Amino acid sequence: MQALGRQIVVEYYNCNPEKLNDTALIKRAMREAANACGATVVQEAFHLFNPHGVSGVVVIAESHLAIHTWPEYGYAAVDLFTCGEEINPEVAFEYLRDALEAGNFSAMELKRGMLEVARGQKLPFKPEPVAT
């Protein structure tokens, strides 16, 4: 069995509340986390809530990085989903832990898309481009 991807579901606690409410900082940290783990950024969408909190996603060619913050609790919920073997979501996890100044965290890793392949064969996580 081989996995199409890895997903790390993270809860960061005791983060810097000012950072958790700064949309520009969150957007930059998420983009830099994607770059740090070797992902290819495709698109970004972020939203600042009233009175506080930021939600956002960085779509990467290899899947996505998503965040939801609660500055009033010093808490951020993060989902780091990467496909393929070259991209390591742990690098993005560590980058965001430091960027948000998390005091502690809880993390769980899942293997996604567990599929059976022939012995010695690699599971392609993206289809080959179709010639037009």
Q: Which pLDDT score, from 0 to 100, does residue 66 have?
A: 98
Whether the pLDDT of residue 127 is over 70: the answer is no
pTM of the model: 0.88
The reply to whether 68 belongs to the active site is: yes
Q: Which pLDDT score, from 0 to 100, does residue 70 have?
A: 98
How many residues are given for the chain?
132
Whether the pLDDT of residue 95 is over 90: the answer is yes
Q: CA torsion, points 68, 125, 114, 30, in degrees to nearest 10?
A: -20
- For residues 18-29, give the mean pLDDT: 98
69 within a domain of the structure (yes/no): yes
Active-site residue (options: 15, 37, 63, 64): 63
CATH number assigned to the domain comprising residue 74: 3.60.90.10
128 within a domain of the structure (yes/no): no
- For residues 59-80, give the mean pLDDT: 97
* Band of pLDDT at residue 3, cut at 50, 70 and 90: confident
108 within a domain of the structure (yes/no): no
How many domains does the chain contain in total?
Answer: 1
Active-site residue (options: 15, 37, 64, 83): 83
The reply to whether 64 belongs to the active site is: no
The reply to whether 106 belongs to the active site is: no
12 within a domain of the structure (yes/no): yes
Reduce the DSSP state of residue 90 to 3 states and report it: helix
